[in-house]
Structure 1
Amino acid sequence: MNWLPAWDCFVRVAEGGSMAAAARTLGCTRAQVSKQMAELERRLGARLFERSTRRLALTPAGEVFRQHALRALEAVDSTELAVRNLGDRPCGTLRVSATVAFGRHCVAPLLPEVVAAHPELEIELILTDQVVDLVGDNIDLALRMTRLPPDDAVARRIVSLRRVVCAAPAYLARHGCPRQPLDLLQHQCLSYVLGDNKRWVLIDGQGVETVVPVRSRIHFNNIDCIFDAVRAGHGIAILPTYLCHRELASGVLQTVLDDYEPDIVFGRDLYACYTPSRVRLPKLRVFLDALLGHFQPLPPWERT
């Protein structure tokens, strides 16, 4: 007896409440369903249904078998999906993780283009500023800003992210423009709570670091909120150019301390990280190709 069709048939009978309903769903005759159920009960040595004139009800044995059968059929479906994902065509669901701001502004706009080119592919974009567990969180590819990619994953450098110190012209008109890093001590400097510990590191052209213990009366753990506060004239901030390039070009924001490069705890480089088991997945390969094509040799915000 081929157990898989019989188990699937049993689940359909349990869901539909009758063999006729299961037959309609499966596209077969009621007699065929009845034969499979009788053979299944004989093989298991237990009655699975209490039969009445109106509806079939599960026996205690049937209820136990139903729970196990559902899990088994789900496992079979997952196995088939995993094997199909190893084929030549990108298909199935690709789970991608990225930081909130970068994912929203730079990754999300790519998704429609990628899925349009691959009709059997779906993409889930998971936005979080916390480090995800590639295995535990079932992530196919994580975009991480880091100095040191994880040792247990494949890491492909995607792009370097430049950052600038900037403020709104109105703020600088009220409070003055800092000429050297220590001038920041006299300013409202909007810190990123998760990353800088209220200490900015600025490096000059000779590689000399200056550490400034900055202060502000408001703090955020989200770079978009910092961006909004800077545009509103509430202080000075270190911002990535992918986020503020339009405002810099239009004069809404103005860079300061141009002879110094901000050095943040995450470093400059963005990596695509994935486990070795996913290296050959077509769905990962096409998405990685799309990232590289979009951000290299120069990212869009650095091309003009």
Structure 2
Amino acid sequence: MNLSDVALFVAATEAGSLAGAARRSGTSALQASRRIAALEQDMGIRLFHRTTRALTLTDEGERFLPYARTIMDAHIEARAALGVESGQVTGTLRLTASLAFGRKVVTPALIDFLKLHPQLEVNLVLSDHVLDLVAQGLDLAIRVTSRLRDSSLVARRLADNPRGLYAAPSYVAAAGMPQSLAELATHDCLPDGSTTFWTFRTGDRTIRQKIGGRLSTHSIDAIHQACVEGAGIALLSEWDVKEDLASGKLIPVPIANAKPEPMVIMAVYPSAHLLPSKVRLFIDYMRSRLSL
């Protein structure tokens, strides 16, 4: 298997055409087509469906793509380890994060990280769904969670993720301020999706407090906005409400002797074996940034 042909295959999938991949590789479209054909013959599979207007991956090509990216990352890592490269981080860092956290925290961090590494490119996928890192060809995910669901992945803790209850002053003026967990059941709360309870720690005990409300959604951004508009009480992360607290759009809803179940911010990646330097450096950068 020729590494330059594998690199051309990856470039073609990213460019969406052999002509685009050829321009990136400094070769002709005809030569690029011949090299992809040679790679297909070497592997005994067809990687692309080709028409005069489109270039799409076959099922085999879809399955090969994450492995091809891993091969190229390992090649770059090997050259760097042997002193072949200048020491600068290169290639493309592919990562995912939730919509709200990705927009408010991860994206500003990535912009500053790119300034430190001018030869690096980043592809950020924002989604509130938990994506399959291997199937999607992603290097890592930054997740806010209380537990890691997939035991086949490697997780590294980056920082705590403090949360609290918040409401708009207009809501508190109309409905009052709850003083206990039990009183939450009488208020309009803004649950995440189909959740019917919030989990709290009181002393060394964990309590599930039943909640209800007329609006529920799987979008943290929507919950946040509804809370600002006075629709109810929301359970939100500190990073998500910092500006609203400063401006007075939201106020804390403290509950005596009870705190929301703690969560953490994690970097999650498929394997700790031969972790690419671009991934390791970004994890270290995020851990340092979140500790400030």
Task: Identify which of 221, 236, 256 aligns with 1:239.
Answer: 236
Q: 1:83: which partner in 2?
A: 75
Q: How far does the alpha carbon of each residue in 1:26-57 deviate from its partner, in whole angstroms, 9 at most, with x for none?
A: 69xxxxx9xxx9xxxxxxxxxxxxxxxxxxxx
Do structure 1's residue 230 and structure 2's residue 227 form an aligned pair?
yes
Q: Which amino acid aligns with 1:117?
A: L
Question: Are 1:156 and 1:271, in contact at CA under 8 Å, matched by a contact in 2?
Answer: yes
Partner amino acid, structure 2, of 1:283: K
> Secondary structure of the residue that 1:235 maps to in structure 2?
coil
Please say if 1:171 is aligned against 2:166. no
Query: Aligned partners of 2:278, 2:265: CA distance in 1, in Å?
Result: 20
In 1: Cα distance, 2:108 partner to 2:289 partner? 11
| Structure 1 Cα separation of the partners of residues 27 and 166 of structure 2 | 65
Q: Secondary structure at the match of 1:201?
A: strand
Judge conservation of contact 2:179–2:255 (CA < 8 Å) in 1.
no
Q: Do 2:185 and 2:210's aligned partners in 1 also have CA atoms closer than 8 Å?
A: yes
Identify if the C-alpha distance between structure 1 residues 154 and 67 changes in structure 2 by more than 3 Å, giving closer, same or farther: closer
Distance 2:172 2:272 in 1: 52
TM-score calculated relative to the size of structure 1:
0.68
- What residue in structure 1 maps to residue 198 of structure 2? 200
Does the C-alpha gap of structure 1 residues 200 and 280 become closer, same or farther in structure 2, counting only changes over 3 Å?
closer
User: Are the equivalent residues in 2 in contact too, given 1:147–1:268 (CA < 8 A)?
Assistant: yes
- Out of 237, 246, 249, the position equivalent to 2:246 is 249
C-alpha displacement of 1:66: 8.3
Q: Distance in 2 between matches of 1:80 and 1:125?
A: 19
CA drift of 1:279 comes to: 4.2
Distance 2:138 2:152 in 1: 14
Aligned partners of 1:86 and 1:282 also within 8 Å: no
Contact kept in structure 2, 1:200 and 1:212, CA below 8 Å: yes
Q: For 1:72 and 1:220, locate their aligned partners in 2 and report how far apart those are by CA, in whole Å.
A: 50
Q: Which residue of 2 is the match for residue 275 of structure 1?
A: 270
Q: CA RMSD in A?
A: 3.3
Partner of residue 261 from structure 1, selected from 256, 259, 262: 259
Name the counterpart of 1:156: 156
1:7-40 superposed Cα distances (whole Å, 9 cap, x missing partner)? x9xxxxxx99xxxxxxxx969xxxxx9xxx9xxx
The answer for the alignment partner of 1:49 in structure 2 is: none
Overall identity of the aligned pairs, in %: 31
For normalisation by structure 2, the TM-score amounts to: 0.71
The equivalent of 2:93 in structure 1 is: 94
Whole-angstrom distance in 2 between the partners of 1:98 and 1:144? 6
Contact 1:85/1:283, CA 8 A, preserved across alignment: no
Which residue number corresponds to residue 45 of structure 1?
A: none
Q: List gaps (5 residues or longer) in structure 1.
A: 9-14, 17-24, 28-32, 38-62, 299-304
The Cα shift of 1:133 comes to 1.6
Which residue pairs with 1:121 in the alignment?
Answer: 120
For each residue in 1:208-243, what CA deviation from the matched residue of structure 2 results, as whole angstroms up to 9, or x when unmatched?
A: 444332111111111111110111111111111110
SS in 1 for 2:268: strand
Q: Which has the larger Rg? A: 1
* CA distance in structure 1 between the aligned counterparts of 2:239 and 2:165, rounded to whole angstroms: 13
**Matched positions, count:** 238
